[in-house]
Structure 1
């Protein structure tokens, strides 16, 4: 018997659906990135000007799942998409709320945002269902990017670079490596919006447990450090933009997938150099089942020889 997907209380304001205030848990204190602690480690984050280790962006996607399921039902798990620009970091112990603007009748695309108690926006973007949905927030953002000028950390990266195919699978008790030093079972103990669909015997409509949207990011990134893309380092990076799109979903716990990646854009800011990578997941039959677009922004200040190498590369600047 199929059970309800979520028991999350949802406030319908007439114009929007709002989830409850939540305090997402930080599970990446022990993350190792380029053989050193990551932006999710308090000490590392504080050295770079943050008040502490940040909550990883896709953790917030879970709070939107009940809102999207309320709007689109089972189809959300099969062809849903969240596309978001991360605007401000959230930290453990802070309250955050997911808000989804109600689309016009029959529309399959709408805007989303997440806010803190003081109104600070954590993220802003779009949610949609269907393979024919309008352009997502990041589809639009890609057309507006300023090209990366004077690269140092990413000077050996070019748009169009691809990586070798990697095999990835997520079992319930499987620790997902140095980047994600925890298991799905451990995540489900603290996930903000639990669902029986994520657990064995939970009565999902597909007859087996599915991988939560936020954990698809983990699946896509599981072996990403083996890509061999020539990024200078060691550096500390963060997720600045992210989109997860289901095409033939959901993806299932314990099933094998094949992951392929391609660099689709390079951009930058005063503090960062950014590499935009689109990852594709294929199932055992060869079907494309999901994609992820990720802007990994590397912090210039975290690369020790940045100033020296910049001066050598661009002496006339």
Structure 2
């Protein structure tokens, strides 16, 4: 992917990044929401660009607004609103800095199409845990699920411990060809002592808990609904062995989806404090399962 240089434009206190065209890196994953045929069968325009891919447009704006400490003790929390397809143009924005609870420095972030359609929205922060993040508020306001069929075997409070998690550097670096904002630290270990995982790659490390944490009934198609990524003692590195702990935090539902919320935390397998945490809201499409026929 050939990109123009990163140039942010500020208008009335809002920083706008350059227009980018994210690639649907999973378009060949047959049977997934990223596959054109499957997505169209379920009512989408085409295979969707994963929400974690969109997360990669925000770090340059966040670091410019809130500073480089975001890499070590900061986070972003994004609720996904309208899916995009391969190569569709989008632009990331960050609002003015505001004061948050406990001395946090916070700014609203969002993404739009050229027509002004809101793709996602949320907040970014620096300085510690944000108890009032976009996802924290949305999870607290969600109504408990009354009829789970695909996820019926799971319950709130289910956990898994010490799940091995690692991202191979060679794999991650090949994937960088499709990253919309390829920052130097993704390839160059000079600043941090090792190569830093881009947001979507860090999210993949934290998703290691999904296999031991979840069991479902039969085949289904899922998609990300929201992601909160926080660096506790960051950043997350490539070619590093981590251990991941996971917990199911909540279930909710909509007329078209079963919804699960889970939290994941990783720490170095060699010892040390937790590196990062994630709160994920994932949607399971009822129309994709015979249990909802």
Q: TM-score range by the shorter chain?
A: over 0.9
Which among 272, 276, 280 is matched to residue 294 of structure 1?
280
Task: Find the aligned partners of 2:104 and 2:272 in 1 and give their Cα distance.
Answer: 31
Asked if residue 231 in structure 1 is aligned to residue 227 in structure 2, the reply is: no
* Residue 95 (1) aligns with residue 81 (2): no
Structure 1 residues 107 and 162: alpha-carbon distance in aligned structure 2, compared to 1, 3 A threshold = closer
Q: Give distance in 2, aligned partners of 1:229 and 1:65.
A: 30
Q: Deviations over 1:177-199 (max 9, x none)?
A: xxxxxx21122112111111111
Aligned residues of 1:109 and 1:134 also touching (Cα < 8 A): no
Q: What 5-or-longer segments of structure 1 have no aligned partner?
A: 1-6, 174-182, 308-317
Counterpart among 179, 197, 203 of residue 191 in structure 1: 179
Alpha carbons of 1:165 and 1:207: their partners in 2 closer, same or farther (altered >3 Å)?
closer
Q: What is the aligned partner in structure 1 of residue 28 from structure 2?
A: 30
Greater C-alpha radius of gyration: 1
The answer to whether the Cα contact below 8 Å between 2:35 and 2:46 also exists between their aligned partners in 1 is yes
Partner of residue 201, structure 2: 215
> Within 5 Å, which residues of 2 pair with 1:37-116?
37-104=31-98, 108-116=105-113
Separation in 2 of the partners of 1:304 and 1:154? 13
Aligned residue for 1:10?
A: 8
Q: Deviations over 1:24-74 (max 9, x none)?
A: 01111233xxxx621011111111011111000011111110001102222
Cα deviation 1:223-280 (Å, max 9, x = unaligned) = 633x152322210000111111111000111111001111000000000001111011
Describe the SS at the equivalent of 1:143: helix
TM-score in terms of structure 2 length: 0.92
Segments ≥4 residues shifted beyond 6 Å: none
Residues in 1 aligned to 2:205 and 2:104: alpha-carbon distance in whole angstroms: 30
**Alignment check: 8 A CA contact 1:163 1:229 kept:** no
Q: Distance in 1 between matches of 2:153 and 2:245?
A: 20
Q: Secondary structure of 1:54's partner? A: coil
1:107, CA displacement in angstroms?
6.0
Are 2:17 and 1:19 aligned? yes
Indicate conservation of the 8 Å contact 1:167/1:258, yes or no.
yes
Q: What is residue 166 of structure 1 aligned with on the other side?
A: 163
